[in-house]
Structure 1
């Protein structure tokens, strides 16, 4: 399965948010969406899910216009984790996670054995099984985020779209979540995740798509995408680079980088960086 954006443009309240965005994500890929605040990351994710209508361009699911795919099929094949999503009433954690099975059930039907098994797998993967009898109001923000991630995983969709999946998690659970997302991608699920932590994004993702001013300015492996000039121009930062004892490279955002007057007023942003053509 593959979800794609083709010259996608989105305007919200008359203001351009995305400007000619094209990308494609297929099975087994773990793609990080990164960029400064207001770059259009969440809007792009919601557009890929069919929740934001494009003003131009289109979203494709396996080559078919997303608008031509039924809601039921979308719900089974595309799972969405929205960072700001609330639960709304005091449901038990097990019931919240079970909501992820709705696309696989008839209206008002009881959970099947397959549903129960999927819910149990999702809770175990995100380490919330011990919370199963707790209700939503009693959860911390980090626990709530893990429960919402479990709900998205319970769908067992072919593509997972995750908006800031490690927000509010402590460092140990951030590492667990990134490890889990990478492991899920290795089983064939395509994952697109909005991330703010460049260190973790560079370490765990196969590709990074960098947005700046509503445009893609890099779409490549982390080492190719996060160049010093791009980080300076898109994020306004300088980084430290190093190599772990196991040979893995890493970067650490270190301080703000000064922009030239030309950089500050250049509407086009950094020169685009692209991975080599894989076709």
Structure 2
């Protein structure tokens, strides 16, 4: 499976949000979308999900224009959840997660054993089983995020799109969520996640795609994508780097860096 955008442009009025963006992600890849606020990360994810159409360029699924793929097929093959998405009414958590199975059924069809197993698996992986009988309004923000992730995982799709999946989570659940997304990719699905924590993004992702002012300015393995010059020019920070005892390299944004007057981003 391959989900891609080719020379995609997205405009709102006279403002260009994405400018000639080309990106492809295949099965088994965990790709992080990073960049400053307003860089176009969530807009790019929405294009990939088929929620909005590009002003120019195209979005493809296995080489087919995404718009030509039926809604049912897209729902089965590409699962997504977005920051700030609400449930809309006071459903119980298990019912919310079960919504992820709808693409696999005709309308009003009853759950079968496969559905029940997928729902239970998704809730176990996201540490939400104990929340099963709680209603959505009673959830804390971090609990709600994990429930939405469980709903997306219950689809058991070939591609998972996640918008800020670790926002509002405590440190332990942030680590759990990132490890889970990497596991999903290792099991064969493609994963594309919008992330703000550069340390965790660099640690867990296979590739980082850096956006700045609507353009991709880097697309590489994490240490190559987040080199010192890019951190300075795009994020306005310097970083500490090191190697953990387990051999893994880490990047820790440490201080603001001062841009030279008139300096432009890459």
Q: Report if TM-score (shorter chain) is over 0.5.
A: yes
Task: Output the CA distance in 2 between the equivalents of 1:156 and 1:110.
Answer: 18
Question: What's 2:196 paired with?
Answer: 196
Equivalences for residues 1-150 of structure 1 within 5 A: 1-150=1-150
Secondary structure at the counterpart of residue 48 of structure 1: helix
Please report how far the alpha carbon of residue 170 of structure 1 lies from its aligned counterpart in structure 2 after TM superposition: 0.1
Task: Output the CA distance in 2 between the equivalents of 1:37 and 1:12.
Answer: 17
Question: What's 1:212 paired with?
Answer: 212
What TM-score, normalized by structure 1, do the two folds share?
0.94
Secondary structure at the counterpart of residue 74 of structure 1: helix
Question: What's 1:261 paired with?
Answer: 261
Please report how far the alpha carbon of residue 13 of structure 1 lies from its aligned counterpart in structure 2 after TM superposition: 3.3
Task: Output the CA distance in 1 between the equivalents of 2:13 and 2:141.
Answer: 30
Task: Output the CA distance in 1 between the equivalents of 2:12 and 2:106.
Answer: 35
Post-superposition Cα deviations, 1:128-162, rounded to whole Å, max 9, x if no partner, equal: 00110111111110000000000000010100000
Secondary structure at the counterpart of residue 233 of structure 1: helix
Q: Tell me the C-alpha RMSD between the 2 structures.
A: 0.7
The number of aligned residues is 266
Secondary structure at the counterpart of residue 245 of structure 1: coil
Post-superposition Cα deviations, 1:154-183, rounded to whole Å, max 9, x if no partner, equal: 010100000000010000000000000001
Task: Output the CA distance in 1 between the equivalents of 2:74 and 2:12.
Answer: 23
Question: What's 2:168 paired with?
Answer: 168
Secondary structure at the counterpart of residue 262 of structure 2: helix
Secondary structure at the counterpart of residue 9 of structure 2: strand
Please report how far the alpha carbon of residue 247 of structure 1 lies from its aligned counterpart in structure 2 after TM superposition: 1.6
What TM-score, normalized by structure 2, do the two folds share?
0.99
Task: Output the CA distance in 2 between the equivalents of 1:192 and 1:19.
Answer: 19
Secondary structure at the counterpart of residue 46 of structure 1: helix
Unaligned runs of 5+ in 2: none
Secondary structure at the counterpart of residue 79 of structure 2: strand
Unaligned runs of 5+ in 1: 271-279
Question: What's 1:246 paired with?
Answer: 246
